[in-house]
Amino acid sequence: MNKTLQRLALAFLIPFLLGCGAGGETSTSGTTSVTVALGPLRDGAAPVPAGKYLVRAVPSGIPPIDNVRLVVTGGGMARVETVLPVTAGDPDPSVTLQISNGTRTFTAEAFGGGAVQFRGDNTVTLAGGAASVDIYVYPAWRPTRDDTGYGDPPSTPSARSLHTAVWTGSQMIVWGGLDYNSGNSMYTGARYDPIGDAWFPVLPANTGVLEDGLDSHTAVWTGTEMIVWGGMVGLGPVKNVGGRYNPATDSWQFTSMDGAPSARRGHTAVWTGSEMIVWGGDDTTIYGGGSSYFNDGARYIPATDTWLPLAPSVETPAYNGRSGHTAVWTGTEMIVWGGYSGEMGYYADGGRYNPDTNTWSGVSLTDAPSERRDHTAVWTGTEMIVWGGEYDPDGVTSLSDGARYTPASDSWSAMNSGDAPRERSRHTAVWTGTQMIVWGGEELRYGSNYGRYNDGGRYDPVRDAWTATSLYGAPSARYGHTTVWTATQMIVWGGDATDDGYSGGYVSTGGRYTPW
C-alpha cells in the first residue's frame, strides 16, 4: 500500500479542521491567494488497543485513489472546481488558487475506481493576502465503537447474530440474537448514539416471558417504544411472546398473549402508525421440530395491549403459507412478497393487506421477479423494490436481480442490473429517501457457500442505475447483521462473519456509512 493510501486511510482518525470561520456570511472586496493541501495526514494521537476498531488496513483489491476534486463555493462568487491528480510521487497534492474574499467552503472528494472513496470540507473566512487551508478527508465508512476486548465493563453489546435493530430518531437500539458459543438466545441489548459513537445499556429483559431471550424475532419502532415479538429460544423452540421497551424510562412491558398469533419464526412485522401487523413464518427449528408454514397473522394495538385477527388470505397468492418473505408498509397497505414453504417451494407471488377494511387483494404476476426467499424489499413512497435472495434450481443459489412494484397501477417494472452488486441473500437494504442501499450477505452457488461480502450497492430508481458502496473502512464481510437508516447514515452492526457459518465468528463490530 503506497504512502498516499496509508495517509488517506488513516485520515478519519483525526476529526480536525483548521481555520473554521464563523457561521455568518462575510464579504469583502479583493481576493486571497489560497494554498489548499490534503494534509499532512497523521495518525491519531490517542493510543489505541492493538487490533481494535481504530486500526484498519485498506483491504486488497480496493481501487487506489486516482485524483481529488476540489470545489470552492460561497455567497457572491462563482463556483470554482479543479482536479488534483494523486500519484505515488505526490502523496499530498496541493494547489494554489485565487479566491474572492468572504466566507468560503472548500470541499475535497477523493476518487478511486470512478467513485468517491473519501470526502472532507473546511469553511474559512478569507480577507485578503495569503492563506492556507488544510482539508482532512474521511472515508465513507467510520467504525462503530467496539470495546468488548478492553472495556471494564464493555459498553458494546456482546457479539451476536439473528438479532434486531431499530432507529428511534436519535439512537439505534440493538436487542436479542443468538450467542454462538452457548447456543442460547440473548435478553440483552444496548442503545447506540452515532454522533458520540457511544453505547448505552438497555435494561435486560430477563424476567417474565422474555427471560430466555429471543433470536430470529422481529422488532418495530412505534415512535416511543420498540416492540419485539416471536422468534426462537436458542436453536428452538419457536415462541409467540413479545415485549415493549421504552428507552425514555429504560423499562419493559410484556405484550399480551391473548389472541396473539401462534409461535413462529421467519415471519414479518410492519408498523402502521398505530398497530404492528405480524404475518407468515414457520415453526421449524434446527433440531427438526415443527413443519408448518403459516399464512395467517394478527394486528397488535399497543394502546390497548390487544391483538386483532387478520382476515384469511384465501383469495390471493398469499394464501400459501411461507417464511423468508418480505413485507413493507405503504401508508395504507402491507405488501407481502416472495418466500418459501417446505411443501410448495419458492414463491414469486404476494398479496396486499388493508387493515382498514381487513381485506386482501392480489399482486400482479406480470413481469414480477422470479421466485425467491431471504431477499430484501424497501418502500420508496410510491414503489416497493425487491432485490436479491435465493432459489433452488438444483441446489440453493443466490440472485442479483430484482424489480419495482407500483401498487397504484398494480404493475412491475424491471431494474437495470448493470453495476449491481454480486449475487447474495441474507443481506440488508435500507431506503434513504432517494436511494436503496444494499449491503453484506452471503452467496450460495448450487448449495455451496461461496463466501460472505462486505460490499454493496446504491440503487437510484429515478436513474435506474447502481453505484458501488465504498470498501475503504467497511466492516468485515458478514450476514445475519442488521442495518438502520438515520436520515444521513446507514449503520451496520453484528452478524456472522465466518465463511462456513460454523466457526463461531459472530461479531460485535459495525460501521456507519455516509452515501456521498
- Whether residue 43 lies inside any domain: the answer is yes
In the prediction, which pLDDT does 290 show?
Answer: 67
CA distances 85 to 1, 8, 94, Å, are 18, 14, 9
Beta carbons of 444 and 425 less than 8 angstroms apart: yes
- Whether residue 166 lies inside any domain: the answer is no
Strand partners, 42: none
d(CA 469, CA 451): 18
- Domain of 76, CATH number, reads 2.60.40
Beta carbons of 30 and 92 less than 8 angstroms apart: no
Amino acid identity of residue 377, one-letter, is A
CA distances 352 to 270, 308, 334, 402, Å, are 13, 18, 6, 19
What DSSP element (H or E) covers 4? helix 3-10
Kindly state the DSSP code that residue 416 receives in the 8-state scheme: -
d(CA 423, CA 406): 24
- Whether residue 25 lies inside any domain: the answer is yes
Range of the domain at 84: 3-139
d(CA 8, CA 90): 13
Beta strands in 127-197 (DSSP E): 129-134, 138-139, 141-143, 164-167, 172-175, 189-193
Beta carbons of 109 and 68 less than 8 angstroms apart: yes
In the prediction, which pLDDT does 57 show?
Answer: 37
- Whether residue 370 lies inside any domain: the answer is no
In the prediction, which pLDDT does 501 show?
Answer: 45
CA distances 170 to 193, 194, 325, 490, 516, Å, are 7, 8, 29, 13, 21
Cell of 389: 435472495
Cell of 364: 400482479
- Whether residue 192 lies inside any domain: the answer is no
In the prediction, which pLDDT does 158 show?
Answer: 93
Q: How do the residues of the chain divide into helix, strand and coil, expressed in percent and rounded to 5?
A: 5, 40, 55
Beta carbons of 295 and 352 less than 8 angstroms apart: no
Q: HEC states along 454-465?
A: CCEEEEECCCCE
What is the bridge-based pairing of β-strands 129-134 and 31-37? parallel
Cell 478519519, located at residue: 12
Kindly state the DSSP code that residue 13 receives in the 8-state scheme: G
In the prediction, which pLDDT does 42 show?
Answer: 31
What DSSP element (H or E) covers 7? helix 3-10
- Whether residue 205 lies inside any domain: the answer is no
In the prediction, which pLDDT does 8 show?
Answer: 37
Per-residue pLDDT tens over the stretch 382-432: 999 999 999 998 889 999 999 999 999 999 999 999 999 999 999 999 999
d(CA 358, CA 207): 35
Measuring CA to CA, which residue among 14, 10, 26 is closest to residue 123? 26
d(CA 321, CA 344): 9
- Whether residue 66 lies inside any domain: the answer is yes
Quote the number of domains for the chain: 1
Beta carbons of 228 and 175 less than 8 angstroms apart: yes
Cell of 513: 456509512
Beta carbons of 156 and 172 less than 8 angstroms apart: no
In the prediction, which pLDDT does 116 show?
Answer: 81
* Exposure on the CB side of residue 185, measured as CA atoms within 13 A: 27
3 state DSSP class of 483: strand
Using CB atoms within 10 Å of the CB of residue 291, give its burial: 0 to 12 exposed, 13 to 18 middle, 19+ buried.
exposed
- Whether residue 211 lies inside any domain: the answer is no
Beta carbons of 236 and 286 less than 8 angstroms apart: yes
Measuring CA to CA, which residue among 222, 235, 220, 330 is closest to residue 268? 220
Kindly state the DSSP code that residue 216 receives in the 8-state scheme: S
Cα angle, residue 37 at apex, residues 31 and 40 outer, rounded to 5°: 145
Strand partners, 253: 244
Amino acid identity of residue 47, one-letter, is P
In the prediction, which pLDDT does 44 show?
Answer: 28
| Grouped pLDDT means (10 residues each) for the chain, 516 residues | 35 29 47 79 31 36 79 96 77 84 93 81 92 84 88 87 97 95 92 96 89 95 98 91 97 96 97 98 77 94 97 76 97 97 93 96 96 98 98 92 98 96 97 98 87 94 94 91 97 84 75 92
3 state DSSP class of 319: helix
Cis peptide before 261 (omega within 30 of 0): no
